[in-house]
Structure formats: C-alpha cells, structure tokens
C-alpha cells in the first residue's frame, strides 16, 4: 500500500505526539512492506506566528491532495483569555473541517483494565465502558452566523441544521451500531430546541431502515448525568456538534487518561487526531502521552482497510500498558518519556523487541539494550 499523509503537528505537545505516531507508522510500513509519504504542514498558533493566518492555503491544498491527515493538537493560552483576538488558532481547525467536508467526528471511549484505578468514577461503574460517539462536525451553532452589536452588548450565534446534514452522520452511526451492540442513543434537547426536534424526527424516520438497532433518545442534560452514573449503558451515541464536543470530553475522562483517546473525522477526506488539547504546560518536556495519537494512527490504518496493521498497534498499546511503559499522566512515579514509549511501540510493531527487556536501561533511554 502506498499512501500520502499530511501531518499537522500543531501547537504545544502536538509536535511531540505526532512524532511518535509517525515513528510507529514507519515501523508498520517496514513490517508490512507499505510506503507512507509524510508531509508536515502548519496549522494553529504556529501558523499564525509564521504566516499570520491559522490555516495557510498551502496546508489545505496538501490535505486535499493526501490520502489522510494526521493532526496533533492546536491552541495556545495567549489567545484563550483574549476575547477580542480576531485571529485564533481554533479557526484553523474549523476551517479545515469545512474545507475537507469532515461532517462526522468519531470518538471511541473504552477503559483499560490497567488504568481503571485512575478513573474519576468508581471502578465498578467505569468497568465495562465501551462506547463510540458520533458527533456532527460541520453544522450547528459552530458554523451559524455570529453577531455582536456595535455597542458590544448583544451577541448571538445561530444554530441551523439541514436534514441532509443529520441524515448523513446518522447513517454512519446506525451502520456502526450494526457492527457493535446494536444500540443507538440520540442525544438532543428536543424539549427546547427546534433543531433538536428536526434531529429527532429525522432519526425516527431513518430508524426504520435499521430494524435491528434499538434506538433511544436522551436529553443532553440527562445524558451528561447518565455518562457518569452508568457509562456502560451506552453503545453508539449520536449527537449534534456542540453537544458532542462537550459530552465527548466528559466521556473521555472515564478511561482514566484523556491522553489515550483517539478520534477520526470523516467526510470528503479523513483526518485523525487525539482528542486531547495542546497541553501547553507540558510542551517540550517529553512527558505527554503519545498513545491517543498513536491510536488515531491505528484508526487511520483501519480506514485504509489495513486491519491487521491497526490491530498490531492496539496490541502494542496493550503491551506497553501491561508492562507499565507509561507516561507521567498514568504513573507519576515510574514513568517513561513520550519518546521512549514511542520507541518501544515502534520496536514492538517492527518486531524488533528482545523478549526480555531491562526496564532500567529503557528508563535511561537505551531501549533495546538488555
């Protein structure tokens, strides 16, 4: 297989975590005889610094010409507390989603036995969590008209949905449910919002095309509560853009580490990114967890139908966790560096790992020395 990949490292820890994912993809290429071409491009605060805009045209063009995009994270605190900033790193990501027509954002959430003690909710509740959130990504309040009156005293963001926008992501969610536990939960606020009522009627209609899937409906406030009280009840969650943004962050902490969760955004192209942010406090320290990005690379391989390769990456992730080769967010005493975890993963994937590995030498950076 030959693939052209656009890599957008972004800001903060983005460059560190994407570097490790690229390392692992290179190991996959060498083991399976694939050819991946990597092309690094700018987006976010680093792009504003270099070019004045958060999404340079050159990045969009490269993304449009590539087979898939791997993204680290974007965002910089210098913009967060400045509501007056006209140019913001996040605009880059929103523009890219629109330019590539990435209408569905898919976020799987599951727990790992080795990490269950880190979950903020009781182990017995967290235990069997295994859900996937289908978030609509190019519509709703994120993309509606934004207004601020001249006096700066009244603001509004319009929330609009077209039926076709709901249908296309709903079909993806139903198809995913068919391959899983066949349960789909639509999350909305249909007791208040007109757009939510359109979501509900559209999904109710589509439902008849998937008779095997059991559908239920939850208001978003209740869903936020149910995610904490009983997360294992969920299989596929389908929801609109902003509810999906909020609920997926909430769901992500159930696993015990935000650093572990991957995502894909699908549409005219496919983009893969960890769900965590740019974590600026950790930038350059080699302490960020690269697994969310590495697992996003596995989702990319699944997208290319390279299922064996993707499964091998997941096996390597399980292996690093079972052996305690984890970053500081998971074990604050016996932790390994971002780059060491990436090296180990790459060696596991390339099948170059000695059977017996010496943990002390690994910590010193000598990965393969026994």
Catalytic residues: 142, 189, 221, 245, 249
Report the C-alpha gap between 342 and 27 in whole angstroms.
Answer: 11
Q: Looking only at residues 77 through 96 of this chain, which bind ligand IPM when binding is defined by CB under 6 A?
A: 90, 93-94
| Identity of the residue, 165 or 245, whose beta carbon is nearer to ligand IPM in the bound complex | 245
State how far the Cα of 261 lies from the Cα of 108, in Å rounded to an integer.
Answer: 7
CB of 90 to ligand IPM, least distance (A): 4
Rounded to a whole number of angstroms, the minimum distance from the CB of residue 276 to ligand IPM is 10
User: CA-to-CA distance for 77 and 69, rounded, in angstroms?
Assistant: 25
- Closest listed residue to residue 299, CA positions, set 68, 127, 119, 140: 68
Give the shortest CB-58-to-ligand IPM separation in angstroms: 21
How far apart CA 242 and CA 223 sit, in angstroms, is 14
CB nearer ligand IPM, residue 142 or residue 337: 142
Q: Check if the beta carbon of residue 44 is closer than 8 Å to that of residue 75.
A: yes
User: CA-CA distances (angstroms) from residue 241 to 121, 135, 161, 196?
Assistant: 26, 6, 10, 11
What is d(CA 26, CA 47) in angstroms, rounded to the nearest whole number?
26
Residue 231 binding partner per list Mn ion, ligand IPM, none, with a CB distance cut-off of 5 to 8 Å that depends on partner kind:
none
> How far, in whole angstroms, is CA 49 from its chain's centroid?
25
Taking the complex as a whole, the smallest distance from the CB of residue 200 to ligand IPM amounts, in Å, to 23
Q: Which does 259 bind (CB under 5 to 8 A by kind): Mn ion, ligand IPM, none?
A: none
Partner whose binding site includes residue 11, from Mn ion, ligand IPM, none (CB under 5 to 8 Å by kind): none
Q: Does 245 bind ligand IPM (CB under 6 A)?
A: yes
Using CB distances below 5 to 8 A depending on partner kind, what does residue 93 bind out of Mn ion, ligand IPM, none?
A: ligand IPM
Using CB under 5 A, which of the segments 184-192, 223-231, 245-253, 256-264 binds Mn ion?
Answer: 245-253
Q: Both tokens of residue 31?
A: 């083991």
**Maximum alpha-carbon separation in the chain:** 69
C-alpha 261/C-alpha 109 separation (Å) is 7
232 burial level (CB within 10 Å; 0-12, 13-18, 19+): middle
Question: What is the per-residue binding string for ligand IPM in 93-122, x denoting contact by CB under 6 A?
Answer: xx----------------------------
Q: Per CB under 5 A, does 245 bind Mn ion?
A: yes
Instruction: Answer with the entry of Mn ion, ligand IPM, none that 90 interacts with (C-beta below 5 to 8 A by kind).
Output: ligand IPM
User: Given the rule CB under 5 A, which residues bind Mn ion?
Assistant: 245
User: Given the rule CB under 6 A, which residues bind ligand IPM?
Assistant: 75, 90, 93-94, 245
């Amino acid at each position: 297989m030959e693939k052209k990949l656009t890599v957008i490292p972004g800001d903060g820890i983005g460059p560190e975590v994407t570097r490790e994912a690229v390392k692992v993809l290179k190991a996959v290429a060498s083991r399976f005889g694939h050819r991946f071409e990597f092309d690094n491009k700018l987006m976010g605060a680093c792009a504003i610094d270099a070019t004045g805009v958060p999404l340079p045209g050159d990045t969009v063009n490269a993304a449009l010409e590539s087979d898939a995009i791997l993204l680290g994270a974007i965002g910089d605190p210098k913009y967060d507390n400045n509501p007056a900033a006209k140019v913001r790193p996040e605009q880059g990501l929103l523009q890219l989603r629109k330019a590539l027509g990435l209408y569905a954002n898919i976020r799987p959430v599951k727990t790992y036995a080795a990490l269950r003690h880190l979950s903020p909710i009781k182990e017995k509740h967290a235990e069997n969590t295994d859900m996937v959130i289908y978030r609509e990504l190019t519509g709703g309040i994120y993309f509606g008209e934004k207004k601020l009156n001249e006096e700066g005293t009244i603001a509004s963001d319009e929330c609009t949905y077209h039926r076709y926008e709901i249908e296309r992501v709903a079909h993806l969610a139903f198809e995913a449910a068919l391959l899983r536990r066949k349960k789909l939960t639509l999350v909305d606020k249909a007791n208040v919002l007109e757009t939510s009522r359109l979501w509900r009627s559209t999904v109710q209609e589509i439902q008849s095309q998937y008779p095997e899937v059991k559908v239920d409906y939850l208001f978003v406030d209740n869903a936020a509560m149910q995610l904490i009280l009983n997360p294992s009840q969920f299989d596929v969650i389908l929801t609109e853009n902003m509810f999906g943004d909020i609920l997926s962050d909430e769901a992500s902490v159930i696993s015990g580490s935000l650093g572990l969760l991957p995502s894909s955004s699908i549409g005219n192209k496919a983009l893969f990114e960890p769900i965590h942010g740019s974590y600026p406090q950790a930038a350059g320290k080699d302490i960020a967890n690269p697994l969310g990005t590495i697992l996003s690379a596995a989702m990319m391989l699944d997208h290319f139908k390279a299922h064996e390769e993707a499964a091998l990456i997941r096996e390597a992730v399980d292996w690093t966790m079972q052996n305690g080769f984890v970053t500081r967010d998971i074990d604050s005493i016996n932790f390994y560096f971002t780059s060491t975890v990436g090296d180990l993963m790459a060696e596991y994937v390339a099948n170059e790992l000695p059977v017996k590995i010496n943990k002390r030498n690994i910590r010193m950076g000598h990965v393969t020395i026994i």
